[in-house]
Amino acid sequence: DSKKAHNFIESLIKDEISSGKHAGKVVTRFPPEPNGYLHIGHAKSICLNFGIAETFQGECNLRFDDTNPEKESQEYIDAIREDVQWLGYEWAGDIRFASDYFDAIYDFAEELIEKGKAYVCSLNAEQMAEYRGSLTEPGRNSPDRDRPIEDNLQLFRDMRAGKYANGELVLRAKIDMASPNINLRDPILYRIRYADHHQTGDKWCIYPMYDFTHPISDAMEGITHSLCTLEFEDHRPLYDWVLDNITPPARPRQTEFARLNLNYTITSKRKLKRLVDEGVVEGWNDPRMPTVSGMRRRGYTPESIRAFCDMIGVNKAGGTVDVGMLEFAIREDLNARAPRAMCVMRPLKVTLTNYPEDQAETLTLPVHPQNEAMGTREVPWTRTLYIDREDFVEEPPRKWKRLAPDQAVRLRGGYVMTCREVVRDSEGNIVELKCEYDPNTLGVNPEGYKPNGVIHWVSASDSVEVDINLYDRLFNHESPDSDKEGDFLDHLNPDSLVRLTGARVEKSLAQPRNDLPYQFEREGYFFLDAGASEPGRPVFNRTVTLRDSWAK
C-alpha cells in the first residue's frame, strides 16, 4: 500500500495486517460515559476511532460506558448521539451500552471467583487505601484474601441480592499486592450502589468498575482495537489480566494515544459541568463552550472540526495545541464556503442629499466573490443608509482609510460618496452624516479624485434589524486550570460576550440560512442562533473574527 498512514495507530494496524498478526475486520468503538456533553477532546477520539474504521473498511461502535448511574442521564445520551451524528459519523448497528452486558459481566465475575481469582473484601475505603501501599511501599494482603471460594460466591450473591449496604463489601481481583503497578494491587471489580440506573432501573444494586467492564464490553462486541488515552496505559496490564483470566468471546487489544489539550480551553467534563452548574455560561451548548454542541451553535462546521483533528494528528506524546489552530480551521472552511453579506454593527445614519427621496434601486452583488456558482444577492440602495460609527471620524489620523469630513469612500458594491456635513443632537452626539453620492461611480472609478477606501453599509429604510453576540475566548489565561491553588474560574475573560442590539443586516438576510455562517464583510463570520431568534428578529453569533486578533 503506497498511501501514507494518517497516524501511528493506522501504521501499526497496517503492519499487523501485512505481518498476519491481524486478520479479518477492524472493529473500533467510541465509548463515552454519559455524564456530560462531548467536547473537542472527544472529537479527536471520534475522528480517530471512526477514521480507523473507515480506512480499513471496518466498523466503529458507539457504546455508552454507563457504570456510574448517579452521574449519568438520558439528556447526556441524547446529546452525545446527536453530536456524533452531526460530526458526520455512522456507528455500526444499534447504539450499545456497557449495561447491556451487566449479566455477562456478572457471570464473568463468578467465573473469576470460582477460579480463585477474585474475593469479597470487607475493608472499608480508608483501610483499603492504607492496605494498598504506595509507589514506594508494597501493599498488604487483605485479611479476606484467602476466604474460601464457596464463601466468596455466597457473599457475592448476597451482595447482588441486596443483603448488604452501600460500601459494606466489594469484590476484588486477586492479583498481586506487591505489584509495582498499583492498578494490579487487587483492584475492585464490583461495588454496592443502591442507585437507579437510566437503562437497567433498579435491577442491580451492585455495579462493575470501569476497569472490569471495559475489556469485557470490548470483547463482547468483537472490538479488535481498543483505543484510549494515555492515562490508561497503566491500566493496560489489568485490561489484559481480565481477558486472560476469563473465557472471553474475543481478544481485543488496547492501544493508547495522547489526549488533546488546547490552550485557553478547559477540556474536562467535570470542570465544564461546573461552568454550567454555576451559571457562568448559559448551558452546555453556550457558544463559548468547547463542547461539540457549543461549537455547533457558534457556527463551527463538522468539516472544520474534522480538518482540525486531521491537522493535529494522533501521537503518543502529549502536549498542548494552540487554540489558534482550531480558529484557523474554521476560518479556512468559511472563507471558502460562507456566503457574504453586509451587517452594520453600530449604525450611523447617512443621508444622500442629492439622491431623490422617492427613488431606490437594486444592486446585484455576488454571494461569494471567488465562487460564481454561489449566485448573486440583491441589495437595495436608497437615499438613507447606515454605515458603522467606527468608519467615520471627524479628525482622521494619517493614512485613514475610511470616511471623514469632505473625504470620499466607496460603499462596497455601490457608489462613491463624499461627506459634506455632520449633524449632532442637542448633547453634541453625532447622529447623522449628510453626504453627496457620485452617480457616475457604480463599478467605475470617479474622475478627478480618489476615494479613501471601501466601507460596508446597508439601506436604512430597507434592511433588517438584528442582535449580535460577539463571542470571544472564555478564558484569558493560556492554561486556565494550571495553577494548583487557584481556581480556573479566576481566569474568565470578562469580554467573552459582548451583546449588540439594533445592528442592521442587508435585506437578503430577512430569512437567514441556518446551515452555514455568513461572512459579514470586514467583521467576521456570523451564524444564525435559531433558538434565540424571534420571527423577524434574527440573532447572530460571531463564530470567529476574520483574522487572529490574539496573535502574539
CB of 329 to ligand ATP, least distance (A): 16
Q: Which three cell numbers stand for residue 435?
A: 453626504
Whether 70 is catalytic is no
Report in angstroms the alpha-carbon separations of 235 from 62, 133, 181, 255, 456.
Answer: 22, 17, 9, 11, 58
Pick between residue 33 and residue 432 the one whose CB is nearest to Mg ion: 33
- Residue 448's region, left for phi above 0, alpha for psi from -120 to 50, else beta, is left
Q: Which of 29, 160, 172, 269 is catalytic?
A: 269
CB of 44 to ligand ATP, least distance (A): 4
Task: Give which of Mg ion, ligand ATP, none residue 217 binds (C-beta under 5 to 8 Å, depending on kind).
Answer: none
Residues lying near ligand ATP in the complex (CB under 6 A) are found at: 31-33, 41-42, 44-45, 65, 228-229, 259-260, 267-269
# chain residues binding Mg ion, by CB under 5 A: 1
Three-state DSSP state, 511: coil
* 8 A C-beta contact, residue 220 and residue 246: no
CB of 502 to ligand ATP, least distance (A): 39
Pick between residue 98 and residue 417 the one whose CB is nearest to ligand ATP: 98
Selected range binding Mg ion among 28-36, 222-230, 426-434, 490-498, rule: CB under 5 A: 28-36
Task: Determine whether 308 is exposed, middle or buried from the number of CB atoms within 10 Å of its CB (0-12, 13-18, 19+).
Answer: buried
Whether 44 is catalytic is no
Which residue bears the cell 457608489? 415
CB of 467 to ligand ATP, least distance (A): 32
Pick between residue 242 and residue 458 the one whose CB is nearest to ligand ATP: 242
Q: Which of 14, 140, 193, 259 is catalytic?
A: 259
Task: Give which of Mg ion, ligand ATP, none residue 68 binds (C-beta under 5 to 8 Å, depending on kind).
Answer: none
Pick between residue 481 and residue 506 the one whose CB is nearest to ligand ATP: 481
Whether 33 is catalytic is yes
Three-state DSSP state, 459: strand
Strand locations in 354-493 (E): 360-366, 376-382, 384-388, 408-411, 416-424, 430-438, 454-455, 457-459, 463-471
Task: Give which of Mg ion, ligand ATP, none residue 213 binds (C-beta under 5 to 8 Å, depending on kind).
Answer: none
CB of 63 to ligand ATP, least distance (A): 10
The Cα–Cα gap between 435 and 408 comes to 9
The Cα–Cα gap between 379 and 520 comes to 14
Other C-beta atoms within 10 Å of 270: how many? 10
Distance of CA 425 to the CA centre of its chain: 47
Pick between residue 80 and residue 433 the one whose CB is nearest to ligand ATP: 80
CB of 217 to Mg ion, least distance (A): 13
Residues in contact with 385: Cβ distance below 8 Å, sequence separation at least 6, in sequence order: 349, 350, 352, 411, 457, 458, 459, 460
Pick between residue 33 and residue 322 the one whose CB is nearest to Mg ion: 33
Which backbone phi and psi does 519 adopt, to 5 degrees? -95, 115
Three-state DSSP state, 120: strand
Q: Which residues are catalytic?
A: 33, 259, 269
Residues that bind Mg ion (CB under 5 A): 33
